A = this chain, B = another copy of it.
């Protein structure tokens, strides 16, 4: 009994048919009733194409209304969506399609070139574009009226920052609890409008779609990140919540100049890794209500966030685990003391039950219902989480632990530095040494020497970058998360 509930889109269309479900960049809006009708039609057409309950269906698309409709259509069929990152190479995509045993690849025809290249990779999946599907006749069937919370809804591959891609399985229940947990934390206002510029193929974007159904809330769906456009949406179109990562927020602040966001804007939900303190301070100065979060694909988005009331007092913290979630710090197989850095373990109904077909990884990552995240952090005396770094990026230099994010935060304090990434370079004497990659303002007079001198004033000697490279941009994935692994590769060759 506890495991079933009404089909989300069907229910939402019954409750508030005329409310906006999705508003696009050009102002077009689609109501929940229209999205429901379009998803049913699309499901009937997929049925004609041969898609069946339980099938895995890979989706390759940028953010679009059609992509949302396709996802909901799969839920009417009871098929599982495998959401592909459009930035991946054909070879990487083919790996995920095969690993997930996808029967079909649904793609947006704007990605036709990539799809053509992908077909050469022998993917064993039938390939069909959104437009092709929509040209099929509709074969009706008994569309799902209920959702079983224990069934898998999506598979998303973990981003490259944490190693070889693994398919994270999300049940409907994972997504549901994530949406509910977020509401209990952030509140739920009648006039909320949530902007999604993060890709829907990552959980940070996808989760906004689910919240929209559960809350009856419009999503402002952007195809890609454009700081000015997002600022305009906040200033003029009543957007009240935006999900961002640090690099996006930094650009939004630069772009907005001396403006201030209106009172209708109530939450900048900041995820995707530790945020640099200078950024958080800049937000404080501009009265931008930043909610710093910690989460990952495996936790179906946020699992810990810093509440409004603590935003300033605990600047830089990712707060406390959401109401239905638990979080522990473990060091040497024991609970760490307050302030002691260890591995972050999480537990809760929004946490994936496991990676698809990865018995070994599952055995390694899950223990008595807890997920070992591989991330490092500590909890202070008052119970606030501070995420120190991703374990994978940890630099060990002369036996001392060096956390790249800490150094990056210092580098970003320097005037004229837009972006910074730090990685470890192999070193005969010390094991590894930290090296900085910097994106600077072209007019800036920052030099390698001035950077190192500044760091010396702020950091223990072993943490000061031993070399500095000025670059035009840093490698980031589609969620704008810094790929330090790529920096390491540049420093060390193929790792």
> Which among B1, B14, B183 is the interface contact of A351 at CB below 8 angstroms?
B1
Q: Is the CB of B14 within 8 A of A320?
A: yes
> Which among B14, B183, B324 is the interface contact of A184 at CB below 8 angstroms?
B183
The verdict on A308 contacting B5 (CB below 8 Å), with A180-B180, A214-B184, A320-B15 known, is no
Q: Mark A189-214, 1 if CB is under 8 A from B, else 0.
A: 11000000000000000000000001
Q: Which residues of B contact A323 (CB under 8 A)?
A: 5-6, 11-12, 15, 214
Q: Is the CB of B5 within 8 A of A324?
A: yes
By size class, the interface of chain A is 35 or more
* Cβ < 8 Å to B, chain A residues 214-256: 214-216
> Which among B184, B347, B369 is the interface contact of A188 at CB below 8 angstroms?
B184
A348 adjacent to chain B (CB < 8 Å) = yes
* Cβ < 8 Å to B, chain A residues 14-59: 14-16
CA distance A349 to B214 in the complex (A): 15
Report A220 CB to chain B, min CB distance, Å. Answer: 19
CA distance A307 to B369 in the complex (A): 39
CA distance A323 to B187 in the complex (A): 17
Q: Is the CB of B183 within 8 A of A5?
A: no
Q: Is the CB of A184 within 8 A of B215?
A: yes
Q: Which residues of B contact A325 (CB under 8 A)?
A: 6
CA distance A12 to B353 in the complex (A): 25
Q: Which residues of B contact A347 (CB under 8 A)?
A: 1
- The chain B residue with its CB closest to the CB of A190 is B187
Q: Is the CB of A14 within 8 A of B383?
A: yes
Q: Which residues of B contact A150 (CB under 8 A)?
A: 2
Q: Mark A114-156, 1 if CB is under 8 A from B, else 0.
A: 0000000000000000000000000000000000011000000
* Cβ < 8 Å to B, chain A residues 93-129: none
CA distance A169 to B171 in the complex (A): 28
Q: Which residues of B contact A309 (CB under 8 A)?
A: 16
CA distance A3 to B369 in the complex (A): 11
Q: Which residues of B contact A161 (CB under 8 A)?
A: none
Interface centre among A6, A12, A16, A353 (most CB of B within 10 A): A6
Report A371 CB to chain B, min CB distance, Å. Answer: 10
CA distance A444 to B189 in the complex (A): 45
Q: Which residues of B contact A184 (CB under 8 A)?
A: 180, 183, 188, 214-216
Q: Which residues of B contact A214 (CB under 8 A)?
A: 184, 323
- The chain B residue with its CB closest to the CB of A6 is B326
A173 adjacent to chain B (CB < 8 Å) = yes
Q: Is the CB of B188 within 8 A of A183?
A: yes
> Which among B5, B189, B348, B353 is the interface contact of A348 at CB below 8 angstroms?
B5
Q: Which residues of B contact A308 (CB under 8 A)?
A: 190
Q: Is the CB of B187 within 8 A of A188?
A: yes
CA distance A15 to B326 in the complex (A): 11
CA distance A188 to B353 in the complex (A): 29
Sorted nearest first, the 4 A-B pairs with minimum C-beta distance are A188-B188, A5-B324, A187-B188, A2-B349
